[in-house]
Structure 1
Amino acid sequence: MNLRRQLILVSLLTLSLPWAGCQYIQEMEKAMRQGQVIALAATATAVANRIASDNALQQPLLHERWQQPQAQQLYVHRLTGPMFVDGYDDEWRYLPITPQVFQNTDDSVHWRLSLGQDEQRMLLFAQVTDANIFYHNPSLDDLASGDHFRLRTLNRTGQTRDYIIRSGAPGEVTAYYQDGRRIRQEPRIRGFWQENADGFQLELSWPKTLLGDHLGVALVNVDEQPEPTQIDDERRRRPLQKQWLGNLAEHSTPPFWAAADPVLTEAVSVFASNGVRLRVVSNNHWLLADAGQLQQPRGEEYETHGLMQWFYRLLLGRQYFPELASPQLTGHFSESEILSAQVNGQSVSGWYQWGVRRVGRAVVPIQQGLQSSMVVAEQSSDTLMALTNTAFNRLVFYTLLATAITGIGLLAYASWLSLRIRRLSDAAASAVDDSGQIRDDFPQSKAADEIGELTRHYGELLARLREYTEYLRTLSSKLSHELRTPLAVVRSSLDNLEHEGLPDSARTYAQRAQDGGKRLSSILNAMSSASRVEASIESADKETFVLGELLQQVGVAYNDMFQHCGVSVFVDERVAATSVLMAPDLIVQMLDKLVDNAGDFCPQDGAIQIALLLTAQGVELSVSNDGPLLPDHMKYQLFDSLVSLREQADNNNVTHLGLGLHIVRLIVEFHGGSVQASNRDDLTGVVFSAQFPLSTA
């Protein structure tokens, strides 16, 4: 990973600042929500104290209907709009009422019941799903022979009365009841029976004072209806198979019906401020009073901040609370806070999700002896959310702005540092040319920082290496000059010693000394030869000639010289007749060194190939031979003075100082080219290649 990317990653650490700010906002929101719940609990406590201190308000809560199990009770909702009784659900479908559902064991028949009341009437709407509808047939039963509804009431003396709603066909219906052996009609209970695609539906109305405080409703479904025959037909006297589906059985007592208390609702509405909803829940969890409304969200506000709220929840991992229930739809309030407050006798609070908003709830019990009703206070967190959203938006804006500025600054700084380091890297990579020479154009930096200091240290190091390399390059000529005189004295002394009378054992040592002197003399001659070649190269004259013809001529001579291996010459047709401007004597001397080196390392019956090729850069003159390979890490040092790396193919006494390849490099550089050594692709030998620019061709 480069420096620029590293600094960009470092700049991302600034994103921890908005995260820390969001954590602070979250803690602040928790504290504000806690304060809101405390305020709701205080409001609910005030309402509870008001009810507990007023006997007129407390007495309805102690009524028997609120102490019974609510499982069989029916809740009658308050209707505010006009209702037209016609057997259709045109008005009912838009009312905030969740019907109660009754069904048989196999769910083949089920029906939905909705009850409501206005100032004068009570209304009922039933929607029945039944594939087989049996209408009333008077010949089978005078009271009810088909599917019918029963409304059961209980008077003050404890006697029950069933009102039968039957129909012989779709249309208007009325109620009947049995008085002793007589069947009487109740015209005050009126309605309509209409069929639909799944069964039928019934809509009724009656005066509020007609049925009293108890009400049971049941659908009596007839599974089988015998065909009418003669009077004494056996099947006519067979009992019909009936199913009772509702909140009462065939011989049960109707329970109290439940509804909101208008006096209690009016008393509670005094405490319902803007955005706060207050409710009173009975001991058996029916909704007795409902005052106030939760503040509805403003569309523009949520449209503006919806994306930011989503980002806020995503960044902080905000959890969703349980969905807020709507007890006003069923009249039944059985949330966990209600049960906890009733059991423990202490206030309980909680939070719920209402769409995109949150609603806080506080429940405070009202103690009346051993019975307990509850006051429920609810309020949405719109104001709280507005404050936290505003703080969050500002925090995100400023921190993202600071992060962007910091990131851009770090990116620019990283680019500047990366550029300086890249320049230093490029200069260090090109400090040594292809021939292994240290260049003298290493850039010098005047910067006072660490990179500038590192650049200057690199320059000083390369300057010292260049001086030392130059010293090593001239060491051979200096050694040959300094050692020639003492070597001459040694050799003359050994020559004079031969004329002295020496024993045979001494003559052996004298002969060894003489041979060593000759070897030293040959070494000095070779070193002097290299120095002379360097001097002669500078003064060599170039001329125009055909390089391909020259190679063909010397190839024949090389083939005679190296008989242990074959020497072949290959000239590219494209350059076979091309004239070049070179020093032919130096080219021949270069070939002598390369072919001589190849012959020394080529095994018996090996092959040496001299090739002249045309390349994109100019012409390439190569000498390839079979034999041992070159070490990869020493390829560039072969053309330095006094360097010999490979073991010779034959163990002879010829001294190899590595000066031949050094002379080859000098000749190639004189012609503006470059030389390199490499192993063959098939790893069977070595290739020495000299590249000459097109200007020489």
Structure 2
Amino acid sequence: MNLRRKLLLVALCTLALPVAGWLYVRQMETLLREGQAQALVASARAVARSLVATGAALPQSSRGWYVQQAANPITVDGYGDDWAPLTPWSQPLGPRGSVLLAEDAGGLYLYVQQRGTQRSRADAGDAGALRADHVVLELDRGDIRLRYLLASAAPGPFDARLLDPPVPGWPDRLSGQWQEDGGGWRVELRLPNALAVDRLALGIYDAAAGGDPLAVDARPLWRYSSVLSQELARLAPEDTRVRVLAAPGWVLAQSGRLQSGGPQPGWFAALVYRALLANRVEDAAPWTQDAPRLDLPEVARAREGRPATVWREGETRASVVLAAAVPIGAPGRVRGVLLLEQASTTVPLLANRALLMLLLTSFGVLLVAGGILLWFATRLSLRLGRLRDAAERAQLADGRMDDLFARGRFPMTAAEDEIGDLARSFERLFVAIGGYTDYLRTLASKLSHELNTPLAIVKSSLDNLEHALQANDALPPEAQPYLARARDGVARLGMLVRAMSEASRMERAIAAAEAEDVDLREVVRGCAEAYRPLVGTRTLACELPDAPLPMHCAPELIAQALDKLLDNALSFTPADGWLRLGLAAREDGAEITLANQGPPLPAAMQGRLFDSLVSLRDKATPGDAPHLGLGLYVVRLVAERHGGSASARNLEDGGGVAFALRLRNMPRQRL
């Protein structure tokens, strides 16, 4: 992974800023909600205390029969079609029974259901009616209490029998409808409004289950109160909806409407708020305004004397509703529950605004930080690239330093940062390497100059010694071979000294060679024709391109390099072997190859063949001229003078070696 990608990863760490900010905004939204919830609970408690202080018509007990308002006319026929809208809020009566109470301008309607598969029938006037399935209805008003027996031996209309002494102004019997099927039986009747009962007692007797045939459950009647609703309208805060509930959750009064003042957030802001910021809110369905009963956990906690709050979805887009339920009455004697609801778009708007500012700030910081890091990484990469390129160009393949230091100091050595320290270290290193390389390059000429005088002294001393001994006939025959060996060693040392001097002169000559425009194909062809008499019994093949190959080069240097390659190839090619000289055009110049039959190159020597004083030939025998390994070194110098390279490889079939000379056009001299 390069430096810019690493710094990009570091820049991505700045994303922790918007994440932390997002968590902060969520915490802020939670705190805003808690503050608003505490304020609404305080308002609800104040309204509840005001209701108690003003003596509002509140329930006196925790149990009662709730009378719903009939939305449609009810026909007393014993069937539940007219009661369908009210059925979800039926009230339990006994183990398997239920009751529905409704009223309209026509009176108070009663609908009792009993589930069961067994049926014991008798009319209310029969002697055994109390032992059959029946309903006991008790009407209370003040001190007056009358009980009626509701029973029927068959489906259809029936007359209820009065169980208590008659009271003037109260009916002696009640008429109703009795219906039954395989799942149970139903009783429906209507009480006139003139009775104006304030308590109602009901009891279902199941003959199959047994029990007290006259047992009833007496409770007061609860209704929706317009008077209490007006009192709530006077006490409730603005833009809130307040409801008074009986302890089981029946709505006794309500006032106000949910109105979210202020600007409404757009659809995108609403989506952002609900997806990223809002904590969980409850569904709005159980809180419908038309429900006669709210069976909610918050109402249950308030009934136990503990205030409770809940956030739910609002009616408008992106709005939320805060509901607070508080008990009405003293602890231990709760008379009801006050439910106060308030819609709010302030929390979503504030949260969205904070998130928007956070995102804009974070995005700006991220852009600036990313841009600075990218600029820094790019600049650092470019500087390191310059340093790398300078280090790669500072030294040529033969160890010589190029003209980098001739043009000035090493790049970026004046910088005061770590890159500058590294550049100065490189500069000191290359200065030391350049000095050592120059010393090694001039070592041959220095040695040849310094060794000439000692060699001359040794040679003259050997000559004088031999003449002196021969003149006096004092040279023993057994000493003659040692004297010859000494002379041979001096001669070999002299040839080595002359070869080193010649190599130094050759480098200077190659560097000073001038280029001209020639057809390289003709240069190679001329060399091949000149080599044919030299190869003896060996076979020499020459492969040249069909078209001329013009090149701006030094032809005498190329011919000299080919001479060295041929001399090297003849040393390893057997007498009946073959040689193959080839020329091919390349995109950036030309390539000359000379392949010969012979032993393959050792793998360890392939990278060192073109160095100075390196040779694979057998050591010369005494009296032979020593081989110094300068031929292939000259070939490399010629290739580098032409901007190319020299290489050697084994043939794929293992039958020989191929040397390649890559050449490019030499730069033209400006006039």
Residues 274-294 of structure 1: CA deviation (Å, up to 9, x unaligned) = 343434444444444444444
Aligned length, in residue pairs: 617
Which residue is equivalent to 1:524? Answer: 497
Shift of the 386–532 alpha-carbon distance from structure 1 to 2, 3 Å rule, reads closer
Which residue is equivalent to 1:61? Answer: 59
C-alpha distance in structure 2 between counterparts of 1:294 and 1:606, whole Å: 113
Residues 367-418 of structure 1: CA deviation (Å, up to 9, x unaligned) = 5584434434443443233323323322322332233233334333433333
Judge conservation of contact 1:323–1:352 (CA < 8 Å) in 2.
no
How far has the Cα of 1:352 moved from its partner? Answer: 3.2
Judge conservation of contact 2:583–2:592 (CA < 8 Å) in 1.
yes
Shift of the 572–125 alpha-carbon distance from structure 1 to 2, 3 Å rule, reads farther
Indicate which of 296, 310, 320 corresponds to 2:280: 320
Residues 348-381 of structure 1: CA deviation (Å, up to 9, x unaligned) = 4343342655544444334558443443444344
What amino acid sits opposite 1:352 in the alignment?
W
Shift of the 20–332 alpha-carbon distance from structure 1 to 2, 3 Å rule, reads closer
Which residue is equivalent to 1:333? Answer: 295
Judge conservation of contact 1:487–1:517 (CA < 8 Å) in 2.
yes
What amino acid sits opposite 1:641 in the alignment?
S
Shift of the 483–98 alpha-carbon distance from structure 1 to 2, 3 Å rule, reads farther
Which residue is equivalent to 1:136? Answer: none
Q: Over the residues paired in the alignment, what is the CA RMSD in angstroms?
A: 5.8
Judge conservation of contact 2:593–2:660 (CA < 8 Å) in 1.
yes
Which residue is equivalent to 2:367? Answer: 404
C-alpha distance in structure 2 between counterparts of 1:408 and 1:579, whole Å: 52
Counterparts of 1:425-504 in structure 2, within 5 Å, are 425-432=388-395, 438-441=401-404, 444-445=411-412, 448-450=415-417, 451=419, 454-455=422-423, 458=426, 461-462=429-430, 465-466=433-434, 468-499=436-467, 500=469, 501=474
Shift of the 494–331 alpha-carbon distance from structure 1 to 2, 3 Å rule, reads same
Shift of the 431–51 alpha-carbon distance from structure 1 to 2, 3 Å rule, reads same
C-alpha distance in structure 2 between counterparts of 1:550 and 1:694, whole Å: 20
What amino acid sits opposite 2:592 in the alignment?
E
Structure 1: give runs of 5+ residues left out of the alignment.
128-141, 143-149, 169-173, 194-200, 221-238, 561-566
The DSSP-based 3-state class of the residue aligned with 1:301 is coil
C-alpha distance in structure 1 between counterparts of 2:111 and 2:475, whole Å: 150
Q: Does 1:591 align with 2:559?
A: no
How far has the Cα of 1:331 moved from its partner? Answer: 0.8
When structure 1 is superposed on structure 2, of 610-619 and 277-286 the one drifting more is 277-286
When structure 1 is superposed on structure 2, of 5-14 and 453-462 the one drifting more is 453-462
Which residue is equivalent to 2:9? Answer: 9
Which residue is equivalent to 2:356? Answer: 393
C-alpha distance in structure 2 between counterparts of 1:118 and 1:677, whole Å: 115
Which residue is equivalent to 2:524? Answer: 547
Structure 2: give runs of 5+ residues left out of the alignment.
114-125, 127-133, 164-171, 180-185
Shift of the 649–267 alpha-carbon distance from structure 1 to 2, 3 Å rule, reads farther
Shift of the 84–291 alpha-carbon distance from structure 1 to 2, 3 Å rule, reads same
What amino acid sits opposite 2:138 in the alignment?
L
C-alpha distance in structure 2 between counterparts of 1:661 and 1:119, whole Å: 126
Which residue is equivalent to 2:118? Answer: none
What amino acid sits opposite 2:6 in the alignment?
Q
Which residue is equivalent to 2:38? Answer: 38
Which residue is equivalent to 2:122? Answer: none
Shift of the 496–123 alpha-carbon distance from structure 1 to 2, 3 Å rule, reads farther
Shift of the 414–90 alpha-carbon distance from structure 1 to 2, 3 Å rule, reads farther
C-alpha distance in structure 2 between counterparts of 1:290 and 1:257, whole Å: 20
What amino acid sits opposite 2:663 in the alignment?
F
What amino acid sits opposite 2:601 in the alignment?
P
Which residue is equivalent to 1:154? Answer: 138
Identity %: 31
C-alpha distance in structure 2 between counterparts of 1:386 and 1:310, whole Å: 12
C-alpha distance in structure 2 between counterparts of 1:568 and 1:255, whole Å: 133
How far has the Cα of 1:112 moved from its partner? Answer: 12
The DSSP-based 3-state class of the residue aligned with 2:295 is coil
Counterparts of 1:653-664 in structure 2, within 5 Å, are 655=626, 657-664=628-635
What amino acid sits opposite 1:482 in the alignment?
E
Judge conservation of contact 1:435–1:675 (CA < 8 Å) in 2.
no
How far has the Cα of 1:335 moved from its partner? Answer: 0.4
What amino acid sits opposite 1:320 in the alignment?
R
Shift of the 302–590 alpha-carbon distance from structure 1 to 2, 3 Å rule, reads closer
Judge conservation of contact 2:30–2:279 (CA < 8 Å) in 1.
no
How far has the Cα of 1:547 moved from its partner? Answer: 1.8
What amino acid sits opposite 1:154 in the alignment?
E
Judge conservation of contact 1:629–1:685 (CA < 8 Å) in 2.
no
Residues 152-191 of structure 1: CA deviation (Å, up to 9, x unaligned) = 7432346245498x999xxxxx8865789xxx9978x89x
C-alpha distance in structure 2 between counterparts of 1:673 and 1:479, whole Å: 31
Shift of the 534–389 alpha-carbon distance from structure 1 to 2, 3 Å rule, reads closer
C-alpha distance in structure 2 between counterparts of 1:606 and 1:649, whole Å: 19
Q: Does 1:620 align with 2:592?
A: yes
How far has the Cα of 1:690 moved from its partner? Answer: 0.5
How far has the Cα of 1:257 moved from its partner? Answer: 7.9
Q: Does 1:533 align with 2:517?
A: no
How far has the Cα of 1:490 moved from its partner? Answer: 1.6
C-alpha distance in structure 1 between counterparts of 2:109 and 2:478, whole Å: 148
Shift of the 265–539 alpha-carbon distance from structure 1 to 2, 3 Å rule, reads closer
Counterparts of 1:199-598 in structure 2, within 5 Å, are 213-214=199-200, 253=216, 256=219, 259-262=222-225, 263-296=227-260, 300-310=264-274, 312-313=276-277, 319-323=279-283, 325-326=286-287, 329=291, 331-335=293-297, 338-339=300-301, 341-343=302-304, 345=305, 347-354=306-313, 357-367=319-329, 370-373=332-335, 374-432=337-395, 438-441=401-404, 444-445=411-412, 448-450=415-417, 451=419, 454-455=422-423, 458=426, 461-462=429-430, 465-466=433-434, 468-499=436-467, 500=469, 501=474, 513-534=486-507, 537=510, 538=512, 545=522, 547-548=524-525, 550-551=527-528, 554=531, 557-558=534-535, 560=537, 569-572=540-543, 574-575=545-546, 586-598=557-569
The DSSP-based 3-state class of the residue aligned with 2:661 is strand
What amino acid sits opposite 1:474 in the alignment?
T
The DSSP-based 3-state class of the residue aligned with 1:61 is coil
C-alpha distance in structure 2 between counterparts of 1:629 and 1:250, whole Å: 121
What amino acid sits opposite 2:442 in the alignment?
T
Shift of the 574–418 alpha-carbon distance from structure 1 to 2, 3 Å rule, reads same
The DSSP-based 3-state class of the residue aligned with 2:280 is coil
The DSSP-based 3-state class of the residue aligned with 2:236 is coil
The DSSP-based 3-state class of the residue aligned with 1:574 is coil
C-alpha distance in structure 2 between counterparts of 1:534 and 1:376, whole Å: 106
Q: Does 1:691 align with 2:662?
A: yes
Judge conservation of contact 2:319–2:343 (CA < 8 Å) in 1.
yes
What amino acid sits opposite 1:590 in the alignment?
A
Judge conservation of contact 2:74–2:82 (CA < 8 Å) in 1.
no
Judge conservation of contact 2:307–2:327 (CA < 8 Å) in 1.
no
TM-score, normalised to structure 2's length? 0.70
How far has the Cα of 1:684 moved from its partner? Answer: 7.9
C-alpha distance in structure 2 between counterparts of 1:285 and 1:175, whole Å: 35
What amino acid sits opposite 1:659 in the alignment?
L
What amino acid sits opposite 1:394 in the alignment?
M
Shift of the 161–597 alpha-carbon distance from structure 1 to 2, 3 Å rule, reads farther
What amino acid sits opposite 1:674 in the alignment?
S
Judge conservation of contact 1:214–1:256 (CA < 8 Å) in 2.
yes
Shift of the 151–464 alpha-carbon distance from structure 1 to 2, 3 Å rule, reads farther
C-alpha distance in structure 2 between counterparts of 1:579 and 1:435, whole Å: 29
How far has the Cα of 1:664 moved from its partner? Answer: 1.0
TM-score, normalised to structure 1's length? 0.68
The DSSP-based 3-state class of the residue aligned with 1:375 is strand
